[in-house]
Amino acid sequence: SGINAEYWVEISRERIREKHEEIMKRREFAKKTKAAAGGSAVNPLFPINEDTEMQAAIDSAIEEFKKPKVEKELEKPKKKKKKNTGTKDEAAMKIVVKDNSDELCMQEYEDLCYTPIRVDTIDMDALVYTDSKILKEIQELRTQVISSRGLATRETKAGTRDIDLEEQAQALMGAAEEDEELFNNDIELDSKTYSWADKYKPRKPRFYNRVHTGYEWNKYNQTHYDQDNPPPKIVQGYKFNIFYTDLIDPSVTPEYKLTVFKDDKEFCLLRITSGPPYEDIAFKVLNKEWEYSNRYSFKSQFSQGIFQLWFQFKKYRYRR
């Protein structure tokens, strides 16, 4: 516990008051004694016969006043040679007194009237804690704990698992055909605050996608194009493979949602949502009707950490 500064300031002021009253009484006594010694008929208030005794008393009072209280309190236990069982005032007086403390004490009294100077903790050899220093130490301790438990390599292990899952997804989709291309361009979504963000660090899932393109030989294209002059390729479907290797609750299946762009009705936003610690991920796809039949390889499932969404667009016959 710290020292109660206000308490000791009040004690010092009380002692100065007492000493002042004592000196004033002695001076009054000296005046009356001097008047009596000069032939006055008034009897002295206190029985002192000579001026030397009066001057000695005044000098003694002044010396006593000049003497710091700290030294007087330190002298008392030395004379008694007993254990200090007194009040808090006596116990608190056990401090080291510097050399020439008499002059220092009197100088402080004249300059500051015993008002203590405010001490800046920065100039002291003291351990000072600030908010930034505490946060820095906490961060260092967390880093040590993570390193000791081997958690620093978790991301590396997760990346290795994602590579294995990518090979697994390639095996499920088969070798890329001539009409298939990689489709790994996701769309940046607006920032979203997740309810679980204070427990887990949100991150985007990895993915491996393909887009299926080809020629559509409807009546119109058959009439206007041939094998040597084929029609332009169009997107006929997509195969999405999203990797959720570290889902906190693997029993929860990711979900997808389609939203048509307001400024471009030909395209829509495919948004896939899962659970912690993964953020939502989105892709821009054509706004066409899907084939939901297994005959056209439609697939929407979540198994072994991979969410698969494969679909083809419906083909419409050309009518004149």
What tens digit of pLDDT does each residue of 184-194 get?
A: 889 988 888 88
| pLDDT value at 216 more than 60 | yes
**Between residues 179 and 147, the one the model is more confident about:** 179
**Between residues 70 and 143, the one the model is more confident about:** 143
- The pLDDT of residue 281: 94
Question: What is the 8-class DSSP label of residue 232?
Answer: P
As a residue count, the chain comes to 320
| pLDDT value at 311 more than 70 | yes
| pLDDT value at 253 more than 50 | yes
- 228 falls in which pLDDT band (50, 70, 90)? confident
Measured between alpha carbons, how far is 99 from 115 in angstroms, rounded to an integer? 21
What is the average pLDDT across 223-239?
Answer: 89
| Two structure tokens written together for 12 | 């010092």
Task: Give yes or no for a contact between 276 and 194, defined as CB atoms under 8 angstroms apart.
Answer: yes
- The pLDDT of residue 99: 52
CB atoms within 10 A of CB 203: 12
Phi, psi of 284 (to 5 degrees): -100, 120
Inter-axis angle of helices 51-66 and 5-37, nearest 10: 170
- The pLDDT of residue 95: 45
CB atoms within 10 A of CB 132: 8
Beta carbons within 8 Å of 278's beta carbon, 6+ residues apart: 202, 203, 204, 205, 244, 246, 247
Beta carbons within 8 Å of 92's beta carbon, 6+ residues apart: 3, 8
73-95 per-position pLDDT tens digit: 555 554 444 455 555 555 444 44
CA atoms within 13 A on the CB side of 212: 16
- The pLDDT of residue 91: 46
Please give the C-alpha separations between residue 300 and each of 73, 99, 132, 174, 292, in angstroms, as whole numbers.
89, 89, 49, 17, 10
- The pLDDT of residue 57: 62
What is the average pLDDT across 220-228?
Answer: 85
What is the average pLDDT across 284-289?
Answer: 93
| pLDDT value at 177 more than 80 | no
- The pLDDT of residue 273: 94
CB atoms within 10 A of CB 1: 3
Task: Give yes or no for a contact between 304 and 243, defined as CB atoms under 8 angstroms apart.
Answer: no
- Lowest average pLDDT, out of 1-5, 72-76, 135-139, goes to 72-76
- The pLDDT of residue 198: 86
What is the average pLDDT across 192-212?
Answer: 89
Q: What percent of the chain has pLDDT over 90?
A: 19
Please work out, in degrees rounded to the nearest 5, the angle formed at the alpha carbon of residue 304 by the alpha carbons of 302 and 305.
70
**Between residues 316 and 151, the one the model is more confident about:** 316
| pLDDT value at 310 more than 50 | yes
Spatial CA neighbour of 264 closest among 281, 233, 287:
287
pTM of the model: 0.48
| pLDDT value at 222 more than 90 | no
Q: Do the bridges between strand 234-243 and strand 299-303 make them parallel or antiparallel, or are there none, so unpaired? A: unpaired
- 98 falls in which pLDDT band (50, 70, 90)? very low
